[in-house]
């Protein structure tokens, strides 16, 4: 099961949203915390189905929706691709490797986030920043 701190956080966040912690929600949340590779719902389903063969894809979608709704997970959208899920709630960017499809978190310094917010039109504020780099892994020939 989830480590106690994560379990309490999950239970509390779900309760604050009027939901309860279920074994399925705990499994999905645990997988997202353990495998921080931004899986799609289908990938979560395939990974969990191996140990819980009776779980359905609809249940996975419902669990992910609940986790997003209570603020424990963020959806990550890439053009015309299935939504991916990220448990990293700090403001950060993503790097999307065009060759492998791998998605990596990039920490953004608070000073950079502040500078980016200064670029907003006067009278506007942002709740979040979504910044995605797309490219290829550096090779020894390119390094």
| Average pLDDT rounded to a whole number, residues 30-35 | 92
pTM value is 0.82
pLDDT band with cut points at 50, 70 and 90 for residue 1: very low
Q: Tell me how crowded residue 66 is: count the other CB atoms within 10 A of its CB.
A: 23
Mean pLDDT of 6-21: 81
Q: Which CATH class is domain 4-85?
A: mainly alpha
Domain boundaries, the chain: 4-85, 90-135
How large is the average pLDDT for residues 3-10? Answer: 62
Q: Which fold has domain 90-135?
A: Dna Ligase; domain 1 (3.30.1490)
Can you point out the beta strands (E) in the chain? 74-76, 84-86, 92-97, 103-107, 132-135
Q: Which residues pair with 105 in a beta bridge?
A: 94
Q: What is the reported pLDDT for 81?
A: 85
pLDDT single digits (tens) 42-65: 999 999 999 999 999 999 999 999
State the Rg of the chain over Cα: 17
% of the chain beyond a pLDDT of 90: 67
Average pLDDT for 91-118: 92
């Amino acid at each position: 099961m989830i480590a106690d701190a994560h379990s309490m956080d999950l239970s509390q966040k779900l309760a604050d949203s009027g939901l309860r912690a279920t074994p399925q929600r705990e499994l999905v949340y645990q997988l997202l915390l353990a495998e921080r590779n931004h899986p799609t719902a289908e990938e979560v389903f395939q990974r969990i189905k191996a140990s819980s063969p009776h779980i359905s894809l609809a249940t996975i979608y419902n669990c992910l929706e609940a986790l997003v709704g209570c603020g424990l997970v963020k959806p990550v959208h890439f053009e015309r691709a299935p939504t991916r899920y990220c448990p990293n709630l700090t403001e950060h960017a993503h790097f999307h490797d065009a060759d492998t499809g791998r998605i990596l978190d990039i920490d953004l310094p608070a000073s950079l986030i502040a500078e980016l917010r200064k670029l907003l039109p006067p009278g506007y504020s942002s709740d979040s920043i979504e910044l995605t780099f797309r490219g290829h892994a550096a090779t020894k020939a390119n390094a």
